[in-house]
């Protein structure tokens, strides 16, 4: 989806767009975000919502999942490819203002022998018309960040389940809005965190459930990825992602590292995030990249950035466990999500992936994770390895989409629910506030309103 200011807001009034923070570049509302203000921490709770459900939400089972996609660029197109490989799925509608791309993706559907999907994209808010018009079960959005909540809200208001790429939201009030609408309209609102389904992360989850690490006490995770060339690109994320760095200093992308760690540590299912502190390094990387790649006087050399090149956030859980969370996307470095899980009997450390288990590993020596994969590989990966081959990000994207569709077809709670989407995404505005306030601690909202203490843990799932 483009980031041009909406020429026509369709059936979504402009005042509502402004409330959601999506006017103009999606950043006009950012100056008023709590994270950019000094002073006392903002009120984080919503007592007006009453209690959360006593059990995780499960909708009625479906005979087929009729899906509409909003944003069919890189990740959106990858989801369409995956859904074409799943049984009992109907790709009913596509919405993207890039007409050529929309037409290209529609051709994938017809070449697969399916009816041509309905096409939307007359303006940036045409997803509202799609949600109002089409008979859909699920709306999946892979748009720039500022459109995630508006698309999910439009879907749920019109009786559709919602799924969004990461992060689900970047303002605290929008995290609560997702929760509010999911409960009000009794619809799923799922964040598509593909790293939850990566093979090493799922093996760690399996090993933790088997008790091999003992009691989990600490984790380290993050998103460490040199995105300079992507942020300055004239296509794709370069059209919008760099703009966030101009006005925000925070962990802008917490969920890839934090999602798998939260599952292992039973966040929202026996524990929850309690509070965090955050700090950022100076901002140098994007400025130096622009100076090295553009001639003097070029507009991109005139840009100024607030985003610290390295953000470090520490999270404490209610049960006293600790999490280190990093964000590092503006400096030269190889890719890493860190992914370290440490317990009383051993630990796993990612990048490179290696394990140490007391009494099983050679004393004081790491073992390569492949030495243990045959024995401790997650059952879901064993079930779906062949089917997921060739899919994005080593197959985890397919497994993620498979699980969502399976839960909808069978009428079961989704692996990640709206409370998880909110808890993981809210780290961004909270870290922003802490950075702006000399790393003062700030409480993490309890989106479950106490239900985290009784909701069941995630199971070891099979296909």
- CATH number of 297's domain: 3.30.360.10
pLDDT in tens, 396-413: 999 999 999 999 999 999
Residue 407 in domain = no
DSSP letters along 382-407, please? HHHHHHHTTSGGGGHHHHHHHHHHHH
The answer on 334 and 186 residing in a single domain is no
- State the pLDDT at residue 39: 66
Picking from 32-36, 138-142, 449-453, which range would have the lowest pLDDT averaged per residue? 32-36
The answer on 253 and 143 residing in a single domain is no
Average pLDDT (62-82) is 98
Give the number of domains in the chain: 2
The answer on 205 and 188 residing in a single domain is no
Residue 26 in domain = no
The answer on 295 and 227 residing in a single domain is yes
DSSP letters along 196-246, please? GGSHHHHHHHHHHHTTTT-SEEEEEEEEE---HHHHT-SSGGGGTHHHHHH
Strands lying side by side in the sheet with 161-164: 118-120, 89-95, 65-70, 138-141, 161-164, 189-191
- Distance CA(285)–CA(228), nearest Å, equals 8
Evaluate if residue 38 carries a pLDDT over 80.
no
- State the pLDDT at residue 391: 94
pLDDT in tens, 127-174: 999 999 999 999 999 999 999 999 999 999 999 999 999 999 999 999
Residue 164 in domain = yes
Given a contact cutoff of 8 angstroms between Cβ atoms, the answer to whether 408 and 161 are in contact is yes
The answer on 122 and 184 residing in a single domain is yes
Residue 88 in domain = yes
Q: Is 175 helix (H, G, I), strand (E, B) or coil?
A: helix
Domain that holds residue 110: 40-193
Evaluate if residue 18 carries a pLDDT over 90.
no
Q: Give the model's confidence band at 462: pLDDT under 50 very low, under 70 low, under 90 confident, else very high.
A: confident
- Distance CA(255)–CA(191), nearest Å, equals 9
Q: Token digits for 153?
A: 């809200």
Backbone angles phi, psi at 5, to 5 degrees: -60, 135
Residue 75 in domain = yes
Residue 73 in domain = yes
Picking from 193, 214, 232, the residue at the C-terminal end of a domain is 193
Residue 426 in domain = yes
Residue 150: CB atoms within 10 Å: 26
Residue 177 in domain = yes
- State the pLDDT at residue 35: 40
Residue tagged 């239900």 (tokens):
451
The answer on 232 and 114 residing in a single domain is no
The answer on 332 and 271 residing in a single domain is yes
The answer on 348 and 259 residing in a single domain is yes
The answer on 231 and 114 residing in a single domain is no
pLDDT in tens, 428-450: 999 999 999 999 999 999 999 99
Picking from 125, 159, 193, the residue at the C-terminal end of a domain is 193
Tell me the CA end-to-end span of the chain in Å, nearest whole number: 33
Picking from 193, 212, 244, the residue at the C-terminal end of a domain is 193
Q: What percent of the chain has pLDDT over 90?
A: 89
Residue count of the chain, please give it. Answer: 463
Look up the CATH number of the domain holding residue 89.
3.40.50.720
The answer on 248 and 361 residing in a single domain is yes
Residue 394 sits at the vertex; the CA angle it makes with 389 and 400, to the nearest 5 degrees, is 85
- 447 compared with 1, residue with greater pLDDT: 447
Burial class of residue 274, CB neighbours in 10 A (0-12, 13-18, 19+): middle
Residue 315: CB atoms within 10 Å: 27
pLDDT in tens, 299-326: 999 999 999 999 999 999 999 999 999 9
Q: Give the model's confidence band at 43: pLDDT under 50 very low, under 70 low, under 90 confident, else very high.
A: confident
- State the pLDDT at residue 44: 84
The answer on 229 and 342 residing in a single domain is yes
Alpha helices in 284-415 (DSSP H): 285-293, 370-376, 379-388, 396-410
Average pLDDT (97-118) is 98
Q: Give the model's confidence band at 340: pLDDT under 50 very low, under 70 low, under 90 confident, else very high.
A: very high
Average pLDDT over all residues of the chain: 92
- State the pLDDT at residue 115: 98
Residue 40: CB atoms within 10 Å: 9
Q: Give the model's confidence band at 236: pLDDT under 50 very low, under 70 low, under 90 confident, else very high.
A: very high
Evaluate if residue 19 carries a pLDDT over 70.
no
Given a contact cutoff of 8 angstroms between Cβ atoms, the answer to whether 447 and 47 are in contact is no
- Distance CA(246)–CA(24), nearest Å, equals 15
Q: H/E element holding 276? A: strand 273-280
The answer on 353 and 305 residing in a single domain is yes
């Amino acid at each position: 989806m483009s980031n041009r200011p909406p020429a026509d807001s369709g059936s979504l009034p402009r005042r509502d767009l402004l409330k959601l923070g999506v006017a103009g570049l999606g950043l006009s509302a950012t100056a008023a975000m709590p994270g950019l203000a000094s002073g006392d921490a903002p009120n984080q709770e919503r007592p007006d919502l009453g209690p959360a459900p006593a059990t995780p939400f499960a909708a009625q089972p479906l005979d087929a999942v009729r899906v509409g996609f909003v944003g069919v660029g890189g990740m959106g197109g990858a989801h369409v490819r995956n859904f074409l490989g799943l049984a009992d799925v109907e790709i009913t509608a596509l919405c993207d203002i890039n007409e050529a791309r929309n037409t290209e993706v529609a051709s994938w559907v017809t070449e697969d022998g399916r009816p041509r999907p309905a096409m939307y994209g007359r303006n940036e808010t045409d997803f509202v018309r799609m949600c109002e018009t089409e008979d859909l079960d699920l709306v999946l959005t892979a748009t720039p960040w500022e459109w995630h909540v508006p698309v999910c809200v439009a879907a749920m208001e019109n009786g559709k389940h919602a799924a969004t790429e990461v992060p689900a939201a970047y303002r605290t009030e929008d995290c609560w809005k997702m929760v509010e609408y999911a409960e009000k309209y009794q619809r799923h609102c799922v964040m598509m965190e593909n790293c939850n389904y990566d093979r090493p992360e799922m093996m760690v989850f399996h090993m933790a459930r088997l008790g091999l690490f003992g009691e989990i006490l600490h984790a380290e995770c993050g998103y460490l990825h040199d995105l300079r060339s992507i942020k300055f690109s004239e296509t794709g994320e370069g059209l919008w992602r760099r703009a966030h760095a101009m006005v925000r200093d925070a962990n802008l992308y917490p969920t890839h590292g934090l999602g798998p760690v939260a599952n292992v540590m039973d966040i929202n299912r026996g524990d929850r995030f309690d509070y965090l502190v955050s700090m950022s390094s100076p901002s140098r990387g994007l400025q130096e990249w622009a100076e090295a790649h553009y001639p003097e006087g070029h507009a991109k050399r005139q840009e100024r950035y607030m985003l610290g090149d390295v953000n470090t956030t520490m999270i404490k859980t209610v049960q006293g466990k600790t999490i280190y969370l990093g964000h590092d996307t503006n400096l030269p470095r190889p890719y890493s999500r860190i992914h370290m899980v440490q317990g009383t009997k051993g630990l796993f450390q990612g990048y490179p992936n290696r394990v140490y288990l007391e009494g099983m590993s050679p004393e004081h020596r790491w073992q390569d994770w492949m030495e243990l994969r045959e024995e401790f590989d997650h059952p879901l990966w064993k079930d779906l390895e062949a089917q997921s081959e060739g899919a994005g990000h080593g197959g985890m994207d397919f497994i993620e989409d498979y699980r969502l569709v399976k839960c909808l077809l069978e009428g079961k709670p989704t692996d990640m629910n709206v409370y998880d989407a909110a808890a993981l995404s809210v780290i961004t505005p909270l870290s922003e506030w802490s950075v702006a306030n000399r790393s003062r601690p700030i409480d993490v909202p309890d989106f479950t309103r106490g239900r985290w203490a009784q909701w069941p843990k995630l199971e070891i799932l099979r296909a």
